[in-house]
Amino acid sequence: MAHQEEREEVTAMSRALPIKVLMCKPGLDGHDRGAKVLTLALRDAGFEVIYTGLRQTPEAIVQSATQEDVDVVGVSCLSGNHRYVCDRIIKLLGEKGVTDVLVIAGGIIPEDDIPSLKNIGVKAVFGPGSHVTDIVKFIRENVRC
């Protein structure tokens, strides 16, 4: 019975911490206005947000995600390499045994590519015109506590 009480206390403590999001701009993509706007909006919604900056490799993104113990990796991609980058990030996370991180993507991603992104493990894709409230709601409903 004592173990059950300890588990409930740990669960309650972990829910008291803000959801931690890593926003990243992979590859040669130098357009980060949307990522910066979303970073600030997520912060204003109560999340702890870390922005990696421009031109990150999947390896650097995964290193940051594991070092910071994030709940969410948000991949902002406008350069067309979203399938490769997301696939590589998810594979590297798996190699490190990190299976509970929510990976989402946004940017200029063709509708035809969304099913393949979801097949590799991207949980949601938010394109131009997505509402911040929808992104916040999705993260809150899908982060594992």
pLDDT given for residue 15 in this prediction: 53
pLDDT given for residue 32 in this prediction: 85
pLDDT given for residue 145 in this prediction: 64
pLDDT given for residue 7 in this prediction: 40
CB atoms within 10 A of CB 101: 23
pLDDT given for residue 4 in this prediction: 41
Domains (range + CATH), the chain: 19-79+92-140 (3.40.50.280)
Distance (Å, rounded) from C-alpha 88 to C-alpha 144? 22
pLDDT given for residue 80 in this prediction: 85
Q: Which residues of the chain have pLDDT under 70?
A: 1-15, 145
User: What letter would DSSP give residue 5?
Assistant: H
| Residue 2, phi then psi, degrees to nearest 5 | -65, -35
pLDDT given for residue 6 in this prediction: 45
SS3 of residue 36 by DSSP: helix
pLDDT given for residue 29 in this prediction: 72
pTM: 0.87
Radius of gyration of the chain (CA): 15
Distance (Å, rounded) from C-alpha 29 to C-alpha 93? 22
